[in-house]
Amino acid sequence: MASLEPAVFKFETSVRRLGRHAGEMNAPRIPTVRLGCPECFGGDEKNWTAEHLFVSTIETCIMMTFDEIAARSGVEILSYESSAEGVLKTIDRVFRFTSVTIRPKIVLGEGATPEKAQKMIEKAHRRCLVTNSLVTETHLEPEIEIRNT
């Protein structure tokens, strides 16, 4: 994990229009992702959308932050899967995500207790750089299982 000392990190991306409601997203050394607008706005259901990326970015950040917290705490992660739902509403005549709910299903092994696991996922939520950068409310609904092998 990167040091928390004062630092500046830059992340470069690019997008290219492929046609009406379609494009692609690129970043150095990362596979291209096909993009579009949501089907409800006239896009192709097979494309990733900015809306999907917004929600999955929060979900990914919480998972990666949890992973680091577990490693530093000496807790074995046997599995981690999550689903997420973002609610998009019209407010003052503009679309805004009003909330995102992340539902992680976590199975932990050695070094975990239910209390410790709950504290770890809450800490991951608080420390996630994406949730800390948003106005949108984010909620966690974790399911945690402990398997001491």
Judge whether 129 lies within some domain.
Answer: yes
Q: Does residue 34 lie in a domain region?
A: yes
Query: CB within 8 A of 117, min separation 6: which ones?
Result: 75, 106, 108, 144, 146
Half-sphere exposure of 89 (CA within 13 A, CB side): 7
- Tokens for 20, please give them: 């009406």
Beta bridge partners of residue 81, listed in sequence order: 105
End-to-end, the C-alpha distance of the chain in Å comes to: 28
Range of the domain at 73: 14-146
Pick the closest to residue 55 from 99, 11, 14, 120 (CA basis).
Answer: 99
CATH value at residue 20: 3.30.300.20
Full pLDDT tens readout for the chain, 149 residues: 566 678 898 999 999 999 999 999 999 999 999 999 999 899 888 899 999 999 999 999 999 999 999 999 999 999 999 999 999 999 999 999 999 999 999 999 988 999 999 999 999 999 999 999 998 889 999 999 999 76
pTM across the whole model:
0.86
Specify whether the backbone of 74 is left (phi greater than 0), alpha (psi in -120 to 50) or beta: left
Q: Domain count of the chain?
A: 1
